[in-house]
Structure 1
Amino acid sequence: SIILKCTQKKPERRYQTMEDLLVDLRKALIDPNDPSLLGNTTTINGDTRRMSEEEMGEINARHAQNQHTLENVMDGDVDEARDAFEVPDFPEETSQDESKDSFFVPELFESSSSDASDFGKKEEKNEDEEREERRGIRSEQLMAALGVGGAVVAIVLLLILGRNIGKAKTVVSPTGPNGETTLASNQTKVPDLDGKTQDEAEKILQEATLSMKVTGNAYSDSVPKGQVISQDPKSDEVVSKHSSVGVVISNGSQKVDLTSLGITSMNAKDAKTALKSEGFSVNTEEEYSDSIEEGGIIRFVPEQPEKGSEVTIVISKGKKNTMTVVPNIVNQPEAAGTNLLISSNLKPGNRAVQYSDTVKAGDIISQSPEPGAQATLGSKVDYVISQGPAPTESSTESATKATKATKAEDKKDVNATASAELSPESNYQYVGSIDTTFELKDLIGPGGSSSKVKVMIRLRQDVNGQTVYRTLMEPRNITGDTILPVRFKSIVGADGVEEGNVEVVDADTQNVLKSYDVQFFKVQ
């Protein structure tokens, strides 16, 4: 019926689309009784797929049946052929001319109408002879239809299978006794093309009696440009010789190495222009840098961005200002001086006290570093607080002595008087001494003999957790070649304190130039 529908004389009775024809052919070739094959246009219009062994077996079986039917036709069994190919019976009253009008048949099967004598003879035949003649005509028509149908079937098979001709197909090969694959003479194994260049891959495939087909290109961060990313079939698969292997070739990475642009050697403006010209969007940040000048590029992130992505460049703000000017806190009350240090991002340092005839008690006598000097932010500034003038012999001490004299005079006993004077604790002192020299050239070098420095000498002791100073020599100017004697035979220290330091101090900066340890002893 498929062939007859294809050969209908009127176009509207034929198949209107190739899809309709392929559906019926597929149904007839595989299983005429399988309704799932009817109208399966998705399979026809979809991607080409490999036919399974089961489908090929069904097609071969149908082909063998058709061959058998064809042999019966050749032997004259027309009825069996008509039933096998579903050819409808012509009605007895249908004439040969009417059948010609319904079906398109080759001209060679038409009876000649020009021969009048043959037509007369035909009228004289009896009914049995006419039936035999019509059967012969139908046989000829069927033979022609089978020829056309065979051509159509061949074309359809080529359409279904032809798209895979030349493409490597994995085949199953028998294995040897040890499990190794045994290759037929027309089979070969697909070589491994991983990491090979396009030319290398093509040469390797040629040596394996295969051809190469580039099926596409793709970007890859791991496979260099021009090398094989993937292949189909995979390596070690068994395929037929002279088939092709599809490969995907790498276009290289989409990432750009910005170091090649020399970004870090540019200023911020040029760096932005260069990045934007390469298709990047630019974001900027700023940082301090001790090595990169202000406006220079410290770094960029990421170093290998993808085309069209965002790049952040870090611009130098130059060296961070870590120094500050030390404020003047001399002659300031202690609270005011320490607040001034804090507001200048400095910290109050060591606190000491000292007697002073010029600075009132509670005010700051000196500081270190001196006012106007550069100091690191957060560093400490030491200072000395005035205790006022040094104490003199008090009226209490005078009264005590007078009382003692009166008692001694009343007792009229010199020994008793001496005993009374020695018994009070106030008759004992802690005394130390020092005998050395200080040479300024040891600090400023022999070339500084003409330099002048104002120095003073003081005693430093820790009394009850507080540093106490006592001036031993008032400030005086000395030159670099001066040898300053530091000789004090009797230095009275604080009561109960057995240690101290004699310091040679720069009177202007309060920096200690030299310090000597002194031991104090309790004496009468």
Structure 2
Amino acid sequence: MLKPGMFISDRYEIIDSVGSGGMADVYKAKDHRLNRFVAIKVLKPEYSSDKSFVNKFRGEAQSAAGLSHPNIVNVYDVGDDGGLYYIVMELVEGITLKRFIERKGKLDVKEAVGIAIQIAQGLEAAHDNNIIHRDIKPQNIIISRDGKVKVTDFGIAKASNSNTITSNAMGSVHYLSPEQARGGYSDEKSDIYSLGVTLYEMLSGKVPFVGDNNVSVALLHIQGEAAPLRELEEDIPLSVDKIVQKCMQKKPERRYHSASELIVDLKKSLTNPDGDFVQIPAFVTDDSPTINISDDLNKIKNGSYYNNDSDYLSAYSNNNYNNNHNNSEIIDDDEDEDEELDTVDTKMEKIFSVLTIVAIVVLFIAILFVVVRFIFPKGSKKPQGNQTATVSPSLEPTEEPTPSIEAEPTVETYQFPSVIGHKFEDAKAAILAKDPDAVIIPQEEYSSEYEAGYVVRQYPHPNTDFPVGSEVTLYVSVGPENFALPSVYNMSKAEAEQKLRENGLVPKIESMHSNDVEEGKVIRTEPAKDSLVKEGDTITVYVSLGPEIVLKPVPNLIGKTLRDAESLLREAGLRVGRVNKESSENYASGQIIYQDTTAGELVEQGTKINITVSTGPKAKPTQPPKKKYIGTLIIDDINPLEHKELAEAEVILEMEQGGYSTEIYNKRTSASDFPIIVPNIEGESASVGIVKMYIDGEVFRLNEGDQAYEWYVEFETVEE
């Protein structure tokens, strides 16, 4: 095993292990040359010294390297580093279709058809390049986080123009086409059969054929008939059921002839689910007959065709990778095989038939012996009368029958119980009561349906025959998963309720007045946005009733400065309105000489009070030379738009000086325009100018309820 931090070929840094199979391990790595993350498939050390294994491993890269399609995992590079043989592939973050089916039990029809279309599109690209995958199954389909479906693991792919008999080991037996199970010729239609089985499992949650061992499953593919989907699930449309039936026809010529044809019908089924447009051809003469080889039958019997599945990387047997031969070598091999097949004559067939009959007789005697031994165990009293003849001397225990009995051992199984909804300890006890040798592996899983500590899912499924001593996986709830509460601020009541319910939360509506949020919009939530919550939590949503009508007395502003007046009005819950300027012989410059609402009068909270500010006595004819006051404003201590989480807004800067209010900046501004510098501001005097900012008409405050944020401008005196 490679460790994180190790480098391959001074380029690929190992980040983490992804999965492991029979011949190779898969790692997540970083390509430092192209600065991207990749998946690296590394041949296991025990196979690196075997030249044939290395050639087959490289053959996988050659099978897939020429394929570039959105629904196929891309191969980027292949190489070796000091005897370490590797393939560099596209890294797809996601889960296998097998795990996806296990999580959901079965898929929605549209979801399953959509996935099947993407798989078929990947196969279409492979078939167009004369590449047959030969191991299509949910374990070799990855669904990325963005929903893209990708076909991976061309480990036992074969060039379709090689015309070879599939006497080598194939993929998982549950998805094997009949011609592959027989050891016959495989082509594009073999992949279509496997895709049909995969679609069957997506829609029903189970594979069409299940047996005690691989041989029985393979024979069911050859001879058995799968239960129609509509008998298992009534809501499956007629068109989809017939598409699956056509894909899974025993005779290849009765299936879809290409992935392109299959894609057309799958797309039709989405728009016309109940249409009867799928045509399954009547039986015709097989134009690609299966050639039976006795050696192939032996391989089926001893199970050498099949292997176990892995979640991310399939564990292939030694023959699961392409030979690293060119096409001419493959054709030569096929010609040799054809010559050997021609030598098989009827005499050999007769010998094989005789041997088969002998084997059946021996097996019958062995079974009879076991039955007799069970009914009359050793040491018991022999039965009287005619029953004595049943136990003949030839059936007494000897050393000879033993090999015949053990020639085809059976796997001891038990009916697996349903433990979903039970506490983990209770579930464990129930399983061990059935099988004390069971290996129970707990896996944590979030669940809003079951409390923490209870079993959410199980593998195997309830009431299935399961081998004694095998691994059992129990998915144990750790409670609902926490997530950040989504923001519903400023949404309408209906929009907020819908969004919260979509996230599994329970909205509770409360109403309150607000001077800042319009009526019917959400003011805030409790808990606040981005707080950690879990499915089923109740969220209190406060919806605005609009401003609350409150009457406030108007303070006396006459004789006060503009700043004092603003402070008095703010304390009274009122605001400064329009500011006019007038000369006055009685009030100094900057003092208020008029307010449009009489002091003591009750007005609605938030009302604006218009005022007039004195500019001092009128200028006399003999005045000294007029002076000019110039200043510069720099706003670099804070970015108000970022503080308000706004990308851009209408920004107005208003300066107050000596009782006068002057607009010095008004434009559409983005957050990136800060800091803002406003030069050559003309002031009324040498006194400091006070600047306030209005964002989309609202005065800028650091926090709700604070005073308006202010900046200051200092002026220099310039004589005109």
After TM superposition, the score normalised by the length of structure 1 is: 0.23
Of Structure 1 and Structure 2, which has the larger fraction of its residues in helix?
1
* The structure with more radius of gyration: 1
